Amino acid sequence: MSKPRTPEEGGVETRRRATINDIARLAGVSKKTVSRVINASPFVRADTREKIEAVIAELGYVPDPQARGLAYGRAFLIGLVYDNPNPQYVVNMQLGLLDAMKGSGFELVVHPCDRASPTFLDDLRGFVERQRLFGVVLTPSVSEDERAAALMNEIGCAYVRVASVSLDKAEHMIETRDRLGGREAAAHLADLGHTRIAFVSGPPTFRSSHERRSGFEEALEERGLHLAKAYAVEGAYTYESGIERGRELLSMAQPPTAIFAGNDEMAAGVLQAARQLGRRVPEDVSVVGFDDFQIASRLWPTLTTVRTPTREIGRLAAERLMGRDDTGRDPKSRLPSLVVRESTAAPPKA
């Protein structure tokens, strides 16, 4: 890096903080172009961007988020809106958002909500307007509520929806393709030789519950199998519901030899139910989860599960809100994939 220029050489006085006007003058561009570079706009030529970034680095310029917020009529805040019973999902999403916002001047604020509340939309409007948000990331199941998206359009707030299927224009969507994950789980258990396979779903208010089950049943049927009605039970995406449904399934006169739980929390509950009933995993029953959160590799036995890259999805959502171009990124990086560990094996011999 070259030595900063003195005022006599056309530089900026070291006793005062450099401004966006100084950057524009020294780079020989307009203030608007500098602003686009600072805000990570894709609409700047590569050579121009490099020249501006070099001047910014030389002067040690750091944008003032408050000043930027006043100029745009919005604070440089991104909101995370969620109604999700799984705390690890929320934590991983936050980590991804923060990964993308590091060094950008943006900050994160979170808004837990209850879609079933009669004040849901009023509360959401109040959150966005009080904080003067730059944009919001809507996660399941809020993202699946068309009223929330309509509200963002009405009040002019940028938004990105994270959901298992496409529900909006491409620029507003990150699709997690949960159906593919359900197919992966079914294929794995069927290929091991299981035929008595159960499914513990999440709440019906989550689109992911239906997508994971649909993919699971599709893959079973392709292999000449089907999900018996008695083996399809509803959980709540919580550990406690996994225990309850696991005990119910494993106490049947003819229990399943494999259980696919709709998320890792419920899968952990199923493992606990198996221990309580004296069933060995995977010798007596195989268990598969969905998410591959930290808990999956810390359970005993370690959990075979469908990995969803929640942190990567959070990073992508924030980058899209901040105007960064993600067209060159491999879309496979956000798709579900199976991680095989110790909780699955061939079924017990009759």
Mean pLDDT lowest for which of 12-21, 97-106, 120-129, 334-343? 12-21
> Hey, what amino acid is at 240?
E
Residues β-bridged to residue 306: 290, 338
Q: What is the mean pLDDT of residues 250-276?
A: 98
18 to each of 59, 60, 104, 106, 334, how far by Cα in Å? 7, 8, 17, 20, 40
Per-residue model confidence as pLDDT tens digits over 59-100: 887 665 544 444 445 578 999 999 987 889 999 999 999 999
Distance CA 190, CA 109 (A): 44
In the prediction, which pLDDT does 46 show? 85
How many residues are there in the chain? 350
Per-residue model confidence as pLDDT tens digits over 155-191: 999 999 999 999 999 999 999 999 999 999 999 999 9
* Euclidean distance between the first and the last CA atom of the chain, given in angstroms as a whole number: 73
3-state secondary structure of 241: helix
Domains of the chain with bracketed CATH: 7-63 (1.10.260.40), 70-176+312-329 (3.40.50.2300), 178-309 (3.40.50.2300)
Distance CA 181, CA 209 (A): 11
Res. 34: pLDDT tops 90: no
- % of the chain with per-residue pLDDT over 90: 72
Res. 12: pLDDT tops 60: no
In the prediction, which pLDDT does 6 show? 47
Res. 310: pLDDT tops 70: yes
In the prediction, which pLDDT does 16 show? 64
> Hey, what amino acid is at 15?
R
Res. 15: pLDDT tops 80: no
Confidence bin at 9 (pLDDT 50/70/90): very low
Distance CA 165, CA 178 (A): 8
Confidence bin at 1 (pLDDT 50/70/90): very low
Contact 341, 281 (CB under 8 A): no
Q: What is the mean pLDDT of residues 254-268?
A: 98
Confidence bin at 340 (pLDDT 50/70/90): very high
In the prediction, which pLDDT does 66 show? 46
Closest residue by Cα to residue 294 from 284, 305, 279, 278: 305
208 to each of 62, 105, 166, 172, 262, how far by Cα in Å? 41, 33, 12, 18, 9
In the prediction, which pLDDT does 56 show? 87
Contact 129, 173 (CB under 8 A): no
Res. 256: pLDDT tops 90: yes
pTM, to two decimals: 0.77
3-state secondary structure of 337: strand
In the prediction, which pLDDT does 324 show? 76
Distance CA 160, CA 162 (A): 7
What order of strands is seen across the sheet that includes strand 304-307?
232-234, 197-201, 258-261, 286-291, 304-307, 337-339
In the prediction, which pLDDT does 347 show? 97
Q: Across the chain, what does the average pLDDT equal?
A: 89
Distance CA 190, CA 179 (A): 17
Q: What is the mean pLDDT of residues 189-209?
A: 96
